[in-house]
Amino acid sequence: MKINLELNVLDNGKIFLNFWDYKYGDDVVCEVAGNKLMLQNSPVSTIKQITLQDFINQVMQKASEQ
């Protein structure tokens, strides 16, 4: 399985690692802050720290549902 991810480096220095679920809109969006991934949950606008493995697991789960 090949999964496309987006690394978005903004002019203000912020970095985001994203998976866009084009079919269902259930995206996985993380801000990379230092060595931490901060998961951005858009429906409720909450932020929580996750591991890289957590990010990969979430992306793989959502990609397999497509």
Q: Residue 57 pLDDT > 80, yes or no?
A: yes
Tell me the CA distances in angstroms from 54 to 13, 42, 49, 58, one per residue in order.
Answer: 24, 17, 10, 6
Task: Residue 23: count other Cβ atoms within 10 Å of its Cβ.
Answer: 10
Mean pLDDT for 2-21 is 95
Prediction pTM value? 0.83
Give a yes or no: residue 24 inside a domain: yes
Say what the pLDDT of residue 39 is: 93
pLDDT at 44 over 70: no
In a domain, 52, yes or no: yes
> How many domains, in total, are found in the chain?
1
Domain residue limits at 43 = 6-64
DSSP code for 37: E
